[in-house]
Amino acid sequence: MATTTVEAVRGQFTALRAPVAFFDGPGGTQVPDSVVDAIAEYLHTSNANLGGAFATSRASDTVVDGARADAARFLGATPDEVIFGANMTTLNFALSRTAARGWEPGDEIVVTELDHDANVSPWLELAHDLDLVVRFCELDGDCRLVLGHLRSLLSSRTRVVAFPWASNGVGVVTPVADVVGLAHEAGALAWVDAVHYAPHGPIDVTLVDADVLLCSPYKFYGPHLGLAFGKRELLERWRPYKVRPAPDVPLGHRFETGTQPHELFAGFSAAVAYLDSVGWDFVRDHETELGARFLDGLPASWRLHGPATRDDRVPTFAITSERVSPAEAAAALAAGGFAVWHGNYYALEVMRHLGLADGAVRVGIVHTNTADEVDRLLAALAEIG
């Protein structure tokens, strides 16, 4: 592996030369130059629609096939099981509707209080349309899923258990395979939101036996796109919302609508190549080290919400201070050269669970951050809060 130091990694990002310490990775990471170049290269040389006899169309077919193969490798799936879309939310509204064709009034869906609303509202709206029931799995004091409660919500009416692999609110990582197992015991589909987990560790849909899994390449060094996996047997069974002349192969393409942003597919492949070159070992080790540094140095005036442990979490921290509101703190930090998020970041139920009406300040650490950035952020937090 050539790039195993944070300096070498950062050298690949023009965006990281800005005088800003980016702790807004959970809202979207910066992209390496290779991603920018791949997008430009596609538009310079290959811009066309698919399936034509001419050179740029053939080249576009190659780019799209390549992106599908890279996505399959990234997810541990087959290229047939890959579905691209505008973003996770759009894909989730579309796939939830597709899955629900034929469901009966009174059928049930279990979601969790840990979810981003993009894995809640699609089910609430569906419940509104089809007279379904949505149940919420509760959290414990550390914002971890209470599996006993989840178990008590399941019945033969449960069609789907929708849950996150990691929380974009408080950084909790869930026991994915266990939750999938519970869903399957009840005869329900396991529907995993991996958006927040994807930048932090490898995904293998086969290993965890997910039925549907969604993520967003713009959160893991790629362009603004959504990506989903659907198990082959489901994609073969589901009736897609598609126009008649659109091809039926590859299988996942039946669930994509219209012309896709091919240039972003080229950028997506470059992002996967970038992560391959960095390696998950470096990502894990560096993020764990920076997360511990942040937790150890957090000034006493700031309160951490969610688990204070370093285990079963990603380095995403929700913090508040009694001396300053999240919005004021984020503005002061922005003025000091730090990008952090504030508010509820669409993690509505988590914030309700924590009793945080104004939300919190979110510090999202990724592998492109440095120890120096963390130290400077801690000093700034001590000053403003």
Ligand X SMILES: Cc1ncc(COP(=O)(O)O)c(C=O)c1O
Can you give the binding site for ligand X, defined by CB under 6 A?
26, 87-89, 116, 118-119, 164, 168, 193, 195-196, 216, 226
Task: Count CA within 13 A, CB hemisphere, residue 145.
Answer: 29
- CB closer to ligand X, 12 vs 168: 168
Write down the least CB distance from residue 364 to ligand X, Å.
10
Residue with tokens 């047939």: 80
Cα 280 to chain center, whole Å? 16
Q: Which residue type sits at 285?
A: D
Write down the least CB distance from residue 88 to ligand X, Å.
3
E-assigned strands of 105-244?
A: 108-112, 133-137, 158-164, 189-193, 212-215, 226-230
Write down the least CB distance from residue 22 to ligand X, Å.
15
- CB closer to ligand X, 154 vs 214: 214
- CB closer to ligand X, 359 vs 385: 359
- CB closer to ligand X, 167 vs 320: 167
Task: Count CA within 13 A, CB hemisphere, residue 362.
Answer: 26
- CB closer to ligand X, 70 vs 193: 193
Separation in Å, CA 231 to CA 8, 136, 271: 37, 25, 24
Separation in Å, CA 81 to CA 69, 84, 240: 10, 10, 14
Residue 371 CB contacts under 8 Å (≥ 6 apart), including other chains: 289, 290, 293
- The DSSP code for 118 is G
Write down the least CB distance from residue 165 to ligand X, Å.
8
Write down the least CB distance from residue 119 to ligand X, Å.
6
Q: What is the DSSP string of 225-267?
A: -EEEEE-HHHHHHSPP---TTS---SGGGGGS-S---HHHHHH
For residues 192 and 243, what is the distance between their CA atoms, to the nearest angstrom? Answer: 27
For residues 121 and 240, what is the distance between their CA atoms, to the nearest angstrom? Answer: 21
Task: Count CA within 13 A, CB hemisphere, residue 292.
Answer: 7
- CB closer to ligand X, 6 vs 75: 75
- CB closer to ligand X, 118 vs 381: 118
- CB closer to ligand X, 46 vs 121: 121
Cβ count within 10 A of residue 137: 26
Label residues 247-274 b or e (16+ Cβ within 10 Å = b). Answer: eeebbbbbbbbeebbbbbbbbbbbbbeb
For residue 69, give both structure tokens: 């193969």
Write down the least CB distance from residue 5 to ligand X, Å.
28
Write down the least CB distance from residue 352 to ligand X, Å.
16
- CB closer to ligand X, 22 vs 378: 22
Write down the least CB distance from residue 24 to ligand X, Å.
11
Write down the least CB distance from residue 337 to ligand X, Å.
23
| Cβ–Cβ < 8 Å for 299, 351 | no
